[in-house]
Amino acid sequence: MKANGNKPVEYCPAGSWPKGGTEWFISHKESFEDPAPPGMQVNDNAGNGYELVKTFPSAPLSGLHWYVYHNLAK
């Protein structure tokens, strides 16, 4: 799949991320939970660091809050 023109998009299930981590990842919470992001910076299970780039809040009962993170090393 291609996103935004010519860059490939690939779904990486938990436990199958590349050694250096993914370039981007999306985290989410239920709409009834506090919309605050999990953190401004987070680490994956391999210790790769990510920084919050954008938050997409949801209205109650209508979806999920999304948090888009970018790999600090990419």
> pLDDT tens across 25-38, in order?
999 999 988 899 99
Query: How far apart are alpha carbons 32 and 23 in whole angstroms?
Result: 29
The tally of domains found in the chain comes to 1
Token pair listed for 73? 């090393």
Cβ contacts of 35 within 8 Å, gap of 6 or more:
29, 55, 57, 58, 65
Query: Which residues form the domain of 27?
Result: 2-71
Q: Which residue stretches of the chain have pLDDT < 70?
A: 1-5
User: Dihedral of CA 27/33/36/40: which sign?
Assistant: negative
Token pair listed for 56? 């997409």
Query: How far apart are alpha carbons 37 and 7 in whole angstroms?
Result: 26
Rounded to two decimals, the pTM is 0.84
